[in-house]
Amino acid sequence: MKFIIHKISGYVTSVKQLSSHRSYKRLLAASFVSGIGDRVGYLAFLAAVSAQSQDVVAIGGITIAEMLPGIIALPVVQYVVDRFDKRRLLLVSDLFRVVVFIIAAVSDQVWLYFACGFLSAAFTQLFEPSRQALEPHYVPEGKLTQANGLRSSILSLVLIIGPSFGGFLVGVFGFRVAFIANAFSFLFSALMVFDLEAITEPERPTVRLWEEISGGFRAVRSSDILIYLFVLMSFFHFVIGIQFPLIFIYIKEVLHGGTTETGWLLSAIGIGGILGGLVLSSIPREKHPFDISTVRGRVNIAILAALDGVVVYAFTLMHSFFPVMILFSFFGVVGTGLTVAITTAITEQTAEEFRGRVFSLYQSLQGPLIVLSITIGIPLVREFGSVVVFQYSGSLEIVIGVMALLLAKKDTA
């Protein structure tokens, strides 16, 4: 009990220190509310598509539609995110997403749902690296790790509220109301972003588009730590990619639930993330367990990836909702550890003029890997069912974690 009180006290202290900057609070509020909207929107898209078609391919297709911008938008995003006013990029992203979800609310065509999902994800691809590159300017000096822990807690809170709220809206009022609610979330975010404090952007020489884009790749190649991170997470995202649409299918096949139950399980992930963020945000930088610039940090990340696979395999052996929900909360702990490690590593290992491009590159690499995973996995789901595919995916996560662990320990030799 004393341990929990101590961690809560440390967390509250960190929040007070970080929230002293008005723009930091507004940026957190913007990403919090729009993040809830994103989760509501994803469940609304699943419900809208399944109302038109029960085909596994159609359900997987909406996830692919949201991942494709990670492939297509990479060159454009890397070019603009470090060259233009990041506050304006955030504002444009929010306002366009308001329009997209109003269109989705009045549509009754599956192809238009796919198009709206694609466009929403495209503007998210612009919003997130811009926010990640802008946020450190509003963080007090020496508080970056605590800020990343706080952000993970905020994200976890989004994962708790967003899916449950989305499941409630879809279940009680229908997916069209959920789309409208999502549009309002982005309108609120735009209002918050509009009044952010201006920052001094470094002067950038005019260069060719390819030279601008390749700067992100060069920044990654110049750091062994970032190379390790990008390779590990590339394998990890490829393996877990099929799991995103598979959750909805698994709930229907095994737990005999629907959109509401999907929201509850996704919210359980958020609960685990809150607990993880509560601990990580109060740990000093020099003692951080997931600092991948150290061998210990790389070992802990590898163990975390393997444990994630163990949990995936374990919940497929359950046939009642409550134990599955408890196991899902562990995914939030994993997500928090990985998010803090990734955000801290990119921020500290990358010069400011390349930071937005590296965040964009990392985010964009996930898209093609997840699309490939779903493309390979959907035929397997049709043939063998969701349980078997989940078990294969979990087993591969364990293999990746063990390989990463061996590489991390090899560095000590």
What is the rounded distance in angstroms from the CA atom of residue 41 to the CA atom of residue 180? 9
What is the maximal distance between C-alpha atoms in the chain? 61
Question: Which tens digit of pLDDT belongs to each residue from 95-118?
Answer: 999 999 999 998 888 888 888 888
Residues in the chain, overall count: 413
In angstroms, the first-to-last Cα distance of the chain is: 40
Distant-in-sequence, close-in-space partners of 294: CB < 8 Å, separation ≥ 6: none
Task: Select the more confidently predicted residue: 1 or 263.
Answer: 263
Question: Which tens digit of pLDDT belongs to each residue from 254-296?
Answer: 888 777 788 888 788 878 877 776 676 666 656 667 777 778 8
Which residue's entry shows tokens 């093609």?
A: 368
Across the range 79-91, mean pLDDT stands at: 76
Mean pLDDT of the chain: 78
Q: Kindly tell me if the per-residue pLDDT of 193 is higher than 80.
A: yes
Question: Which tens digit of pLDDT belongs to each residue from 287-333?
Answer: 667 777 778 888 888 888 898 999 999 888 888 888 888 888 888 88
- Quick one: 54 exposed, middle or buried, by C-beta within 10 A (0-12, 13-18, 19+)? exposed
Output the pLDDT for position 192: 87
Cα angle vertex 71, ends 395, 101, to 5°? 100
CA 205 to chain centroid? 32
Q: Kindly tell me if the per-residue pLDDT of 147 is higher than 60.
A: yes
Q: Is the pTM of this model over 0.85?
A: no
Quote the percentage of the chain above a pLDDT of 90: 8
In sign, the C-alpha dihedral spanning 194, 128, 135, 157 is positive
Q: Name the residue ranges covered by the structural domains of the chain.
A: 20-197+207-410
Output the pLDDT for position 405: 86
- Quick one: 289 exposed, middle or buried, by C-beta within 10 A (0-12, 13-18, 19+)? middle
Question: Which tens digit of pLDDT belongs to each residue from 197-235?
Answer: 766 655 555 555 556 667 677 888 888 888 888 888 889
What is the rounded distance in angstroms from the CA atom of residue 303 to the CA atom of residue 396? 14
- Quick one: 261 exposed, middle or buried, by C-beta within 10 A (0-12, 13-18, 19+)? buried
Asked if the 20-197+207-410 domain carries CATH number 1.20.1250.20, the reply is yes
Q: Kindly tell me if the per-residue pLDDT of 82 is higher than 70.
A: no
Question: Which tens digit of pLDDT belongs to each residue from 351-407?
Answer: 777 776 777 777 777 777 888 888 888 888 888 888 899 999 999 999 999 998 888
Q: With helix as H, strand as E and coil as C, how does the chain read?
A: CHHHHHHHHHHHHHHHHHCCCHHHHHHHHHHHHHHHHHHHHHHHHHHHHHHHCCCHHHHHHHHHHHHCHHHHCHHHHHHHHCCCCHHHHHHHHHHHHHHHHHHHHHCCCHHHHHHHHHHHHHHHHHHHHHHHHHHHHHCCCCCHHHHHHHHHHHHHHHHHHHHHHHHHHHHHHCHHHHHHHHHHHHHHHHHHHHCCCCCCCCCCCCCCHHHHHHHHHHHHHCCHHHHHHHHHHHHHHHHHCCHHHHHHHHHHHCCCCCHHHHHHHHHHHHHHHHHHHHHHCCCCHHHCCCCCCCHHHHHHHHHHHHHHHHHHHHHCCCCCHHHHHHHHHHHHHHHHHHHHHHHHHHHHHCCHHHHHHHHHHHHHHHHHHHHHHHHHHHHHHHHHCHHHHHHHHHHHHHHHHHHHHHHHHHCCC
